[in-house]
């Protein structure tokens, strides 16, 4: 059976997904993990996740642009790098 979210226009899905994806805590969102089987919805959520968050890279969180796919890096619009 098809996911009922597909019946909604993309703009409405954006409004539903955005509040669930904009508070990055260093981990991938549970929503994105749950949407993995639904390729279209998964990629819509990933785009929101990378576009709307401010990603902070520092020694303690272990994140690196090298850990990300090229598509993910190109989608990021806001990042901060802290150098101690």
Domain coordinates in residue numbering, the chain = 4-81
Residue 80's nearest CA partner among 19, 24, 20 is: 24
Q: What are the pLDDT digits (tens) for 50-75?
A: 888 887 776 666 666 777 778 877 88
Q: What is the pLDDT of residue 17?
A: 96
Q: What is the pLDDT of residue 63?
A: 66
Q: What is the pLDDT of residue 77?
A: 84
Torsion on CA atoms 79, 12, 43, 22, rounded to nearest 10: 30
Q: What are the pLDDT digits (tens) for 6-57?
A: 999 999 999 999 999 988 777 788 999 999 999 999 999 999 998 888 877 7
Structure tokens at 7: 């019946």
């Amino acid at each position: 059976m098809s996911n009922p979210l597909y019946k909604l226009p993309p703009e409405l899905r954006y409004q539903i997904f955005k509040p669930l994806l904009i508070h990055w805590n260093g981990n991938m969102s549970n929503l994105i993990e749950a949407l993995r089987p639904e390729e279209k919805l998964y990629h819509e959520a990933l785009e929101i996740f990378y576009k709307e968050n401010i990603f902070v890279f520092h020694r303690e969180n272990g994140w690196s642009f090298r850990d990300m796919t090229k598509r993910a890096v190109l989608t990021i619009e806001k990042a901060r790098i802290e150098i101690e």
